[in-house]
Amino acid sequence: MKSETIMRIVCFQPPYPTQGTKASAEDCLLWMRTRLDQLQPGEQDLVLLPEYANAPGLNDRQLQRDFAESQGADFLQMVAASARRLRSLIALAGIIRSGERWFNRTLVFDSVDDLVFTYDKVHLTDVEETDLGLTRGSMPAVFQYGNIRIGFATCFDLYFPEHFAALAAERADLVLCPSYQRSESAERIRNIAQTRSLDSGAYLIRSSYAMGEPSIGGRSLISAPDGMLLEDAGANACVIAAELDPKRKFMKPASHGRDIVEHRSLIETHRRPAVYRPRGERAQQIAKSPFPRLCAHRGLSHACPENTLPAFAAAISVGAHEIEFDLRASRDGVLVVCHNESVDSTTDGTGKVAELDWKDIRRLDAGIRSGIAWRGVRMPRLEEVLDITDGRIGLNIHIKSAGTDGATVRQVCDYLTEHALTNSAYIALETESALQTAFEYAPQIPRACLVSQNDPSASIAVAQRYACHRIQFFRDVTPEQIRRARELGLICNLFWSDDPEDGMAFVRNGIDVILTNCAHTMIAGGFDAFNRRASVSGNKKMMICP
């Protein structure tokens, strides 16, 4: 970079390949490649290319995918090489296959490590979902680049103020907006982009395609945090550039006659999140809460029927930081909260969950074995737990059976992604095959390793192999084994402790999260799940959940 804060931005606006053929797509790639080749090393810090940059103008699903994995793949390799040559970030959005699924994915390449960040488009159009068969991303994202925070909003994302509120909450300095808009009016594109800059308090960099029509499409642009337009590419194919200070914010009076303040900070100060959509804010609070934490095992299970909605609601009310619950799939594919293979020990019924349909499970009384006062309490399904918790508490989801070829694991991952809970939930898995399925299918969802719990050293090795975020130990774990896990960056759960003094002893040995059947008595006995580790061990470092 030229200085600590000044960035030199380059933004491409290639001609849109209107013929919709491989040849026209190749011509568009050649246009972008030629312009990249014309750039000189050290003269720019960030280059932005448009959406579908690896398969432009192709509307047929199979043709688009075939092109993306041949000519498009070669193009991405060239882009990565250009980032190294130019000593610059280069970002673009393309159609990318991950496992069996396809995403509209923004890729960020740098001069050293090649691909350094990805963002999957959160808001897909009907055409993208239905005709192109793409999968939605899970949530807005911000990339830390030095002291600059870069957010992402791909094309249709631009229409959602909530998306930019989320980026503002993450303190984005720049928002990259690779686009594909071919029928939107140029005036509306400018108006929306300028408004979103003002909404987010960030510079917005938009790269799209020239449509050859002054009133439609085009308008690659750069807008500033004060809502002013710095650069506008107009309607023709071209390259635009600008120098800007990403850390320079829009300053204004707090109100008439008042002191000058930063505009976005003013808005944030007066926002009332609970009046809007609080889940995002709750997820941030959960992720940033310091350790040690208490995880209510099967809810407040010593006071309520285990694995039921009352047990989970009670755990929230007493101040537990997480709840743990068990999932199994019913015969008709419903994800049922149940620890044992059968319903015999916790309900008035009999039979294995996997051999019963949901309508039959729903009739069972899951409260009567805890006393007449609990009569009529039912076994919940996963959606009901997500609804009642509503992002208020961390979720430790123990998948008891992965299902055929990992189907249950994938189903849970889909629910967590759809409900935007990937920052406040994690899945606990007992087999390597289940961990592998989760790692390949939804790597963004945190995994807890429950494999080989009787052999902590082996369990640590498995957790490392599948890039787990957490590991769960039994009570016989040694301080040395805990230390080894923490050195690898693993958050360490303990199963279990119901005594405050006993629990705190494990915390002093390095345990981060205590699974407990009676969170209320743990807290009443002095175990504060929200205290910093410094209060019990002298370690002043606050661990942040990934």
115 shares its domain with 246: yes
68 shares its domain with 198: yes
Kindly report the CATH number assigned to the domain that includes residue 124: 3.60.110.10
pLDDT at site 50:
99
Of 213, 236, 251, the residue at which a domain comes to its end is 251
How many separate domains does the chain show? 2
Within a domain: residue 256?
no
Q: Which long-range contacts (CB under 8 A, 24 or more apart) does 467-476 make?
A: 467/439, 467/443, 468/435, 469/426, 469/545, 469/546, 470/426, 470/428, 470/446, 470/513, 472/428, 472/448, 472/515, 473/511, 475/506
Write out pLDDT tens, residues 24-37.
Answer: 999 999 999 999 99
Domain hosting 244: range is 7-251
Q: What's CA 492's distance to the chain center, in Å?
A: 22
Within a domain: residue 242?
yes
Q: What is the DSSP letter of 290?
A: P
pLDDT at site 540:
30
- Residue 99: which region, alpha, beta or left (left: phi > 0; alpha: psi -120 to 50)? left
Write out pLDDT tens, residues 158-195.
Answer: 999 999 999 999 999 999 999 999 999 999 999 999 99
Q: How far apart are CA 493 and CA 491, in angstroms?
A: 7
15 pLDDT more than 80: yes
In terms of pLDDT, which residue wins out, 271 or 485? Answer: 485
Q: How far apart are CA 53 and CA 28, in angstroms?
A: 9
Q: How many helices and strands, by DSSP H and E, does the chain display?
A: 18, 24
294 shares its domain with 235: no
CB 503 within 8 A of CB 474: no
- Angle subtended by helix axes 479-487 and 456-465, to nearest 10: 10
Q: How confident is the model at residue 382 (pLDDT cuts 50, 70, 90)?
A: very high
Mean pLDDT, rounded, for 42-71: 98
The mean predicted confidence, pLDDT, of the chain is 93
290 shares its domain with 234: no
Q: How far apart are CA 311 and CA 320, in angstroms?
A: 11
171 shares its domain with 279: no
Q: What is the DSSP letter of 452?
A: T
Q: How far apart are CA 437 and CA 430, in angstroms?
A: 12
541 pLDDT more than 50: no
Within a domain: residue 332?
yes
pLDDT at site 276:
67
Write out pLDDT tens, residues 89-132.
Answer: 999 999 999 999 999 999 999 999 799 999 999 999 999 999 99
Burial of residue 382 (CB within 10 Å: 0-12, 13-18, 19+) is buried
Q: How far apart are CA 124 and CA 126, in angstroms?
A: 7
Mean pLDDT, rounded, for 364-379: 97
Contacts of 70 (CB under 8 A, 6+ apart): none
The answer, yes or no, to whether the previous bond of 374 is cis (omega within 30 of 0) is: no
pLDDT at site 279:
73
Within a domain: residue 326?
yes
211 shares its domain with 305: no
Q: How confident is the model at residue 492 (pLDDT cuts 50, 70, 90)?
A: very high
Contacts of 525 (CB under 8 A, 6+ apart): 499, 500, 501
Write out pLDDT tens, residues 507-540.
Answer: 999 999 999 999 999 999 888 644 433 333 333 3
Tell me which residue of 344, 347, 326 sits closest to 336, measured CA to CA.
326
Q: How confident is the model at residue 420 (pLDDT cuts 50, 70, 90)?
A: confident
261 pLDDT more than 80: yes
153 shares its domain with 17: yes
73 shares its domain with 138: yes
> What ranges in 160-253 are assigned the alpha helix state H?
161-169, 186-200
Q: How confident is the model at residue 546 (pLDDT cuts 50, 70, 90)?
A: very low
325 shares its domain with 221: no
Which stretch of 149-153, 213-217, 218-222 has the lowest confidence by average pLDDT? 213-217
Tell me whether strands 335-337 and 114-120 are parallel, antiparallel or unpaired.
unpaired
Q: How far apart are CA 504 and CA 431, in angstroms?
A: 30
pTM assigned to the model: 0.77
Q: How confident is the model at residue 428 (pLDDT cuts 50, 70, 90)?
A: very high
Write out pLDDT tens, residues 429-483.
Answer: 999 999 999 999 999 999 999 999 999 999 999 999 999 999 999 999 999 999 9
- For the CA atoms of 341, 342, 345, 348, the dihedral, rounded to the nearest 10 degrees, stands at 150
Percent of the chain with pLDDT strictly greater than 90 = 87
Q: How confident is the model at residue 340 (pLDDT cuts 50, 70, 90)?
A: very high
Direct distance between the N- and C-terminal alpha carbons of the chain, in angstroms, rounded to an integer: 29
286 shares its domain with 428: yes
304 pLDDT more than 90: yes
Write out pLDDT tens, residues 267-287.
Answer: 888 877 656 667 777 887 888
377 pLDDT more than 80: yes
Kindly report the CATH number assigned to the domain that includes residue 448: 3.20.20.190
Q: What is the DSSP letter of 459?
A: H
Tell me whether strands 293-297 and 513-516 are parallel, antiparallel or unpaired.
parallel
170 shares its domain with 310: no
pLDDT at site 123:
98
186 shares its domain with 287: no
Show the beta-strand stretches assigned E in 83-226: 89-98, 101-110, 114-120, 134-135, 142-145, 148-152, 174-178, 203-207, 221-223
> What ranges in 305-455 are assigned the alpha helix state H?
309-318, 358-362, 382-389, 407-418, 432-441
